[in-house]
Amino acid sequence: MRESQWWLISLGAAALMVLLLTVHMGLMHLAGLLRAAGVDLGDVRSFAAVMARGRSAVQLIFYLLFLAAALYHGLYGLRSVLLEVTPPRRQGLLSGLVLLAGLAAFAYGTYVTVRTFTG
């Protein structure tokens, strides 16, 4: 793939994160505001609510998408920064290492999310 395509994916990941982060913030941290607006979600941070969300297929997809978008966007930016201080001969290696780190983090995050889903 061309570099512009990687960059476009990074932009797409950022746009997705804005959407998912808005939902996450609304659900988890702005419950008071929502309540004032007439939407009462109850105690979203109670143990029972957290476990219920963990067993929801929608939440599973939500968190996996969030994880993928955040990892891609963050690691793409990190790679861009590290490329500045990496000699040209080692830049391919750097891209490989960043990709490996991303895949490992995604695998671990997926494992945790799926384990929660399956109970």
* Binding positions for another protein, rule: CB under 8 A: 2-5, 7-8, 83-85, 88, 91, 95
**CA distances (Å), origin 59, targets 6, 12, 82, 118:** 27, 20, 34, 12
Identify which of residues 7 and 108 has a Cβ nearer to another protein in the complex. 7
CA 90 to chain centre: 28
In the bound complex, what is the minimum distance in angstroms from residue 98's beta carbon to another protein?
13
In the bound complex, what is the minimum distance in angstroms from residue 79's beta carbon to another protein?
10
Of 62, 50, 60, nearest to 17 by C-alpha is: 62
Identify which of residues 6 and 117 has a Cβ nearer to another protein in the complex. 6
